[in-house]
Amino acid sequence: MSKRLQVLMADERLRAIQKIAKQHGLSVGEWVRRVLDDACRREPQGKASAKLAALERALRVNGPTCDIEQMNAEISRGYLQEDIA
């Protein structure tokens, strides 16, 4: 369900927004929706403490590691072996 949002702003600001929207070939409403969607995506999701706890758990994992060159070489060898089989 859609809801209406009313925003009051100075005439000068509205004219600037209208100009930008027109340059993008969008209505003012569509341009504003896109800008607000982008702003919402940039906002942090979840609590910082939960993110830090997840990072700490990941750092405690004692998995196989190596430098990136060795890892890429092993991956490439694996692809080549699949092609041969």
What helix, strand, coil percent values describe the chain, rounded to 5? Answer: 70, 0, 30
Domain housing 45: 1-58
Domain count, the chain: 1
pLDDT digits (tens, 9 = 90+) for 31-68: 999 999 999 999 888 888 988 999 999 888 887 778 89
Is 47 part of any domain? yes
| pLDDT the model gives residue 38 | 95
Is 6 part of any domain? yes
Using DSSP, how many helices (H) and how many strands (E) does the chain show?
Answer: 4, 0
Q: Which amino acid is at 3?
A: K
Sequential DSSP letters for 20-48: HHHHTT--HHHHHHHHHHHHHHHS--S-H
| pLDDT the model gives residue 10 | 97
Is 83 part of any domain? no
Per-residue pLDDT band at 84 (split at 50, 70, 90): low
Is 71 part of any domain? no
Is 9 part of any domain? yes
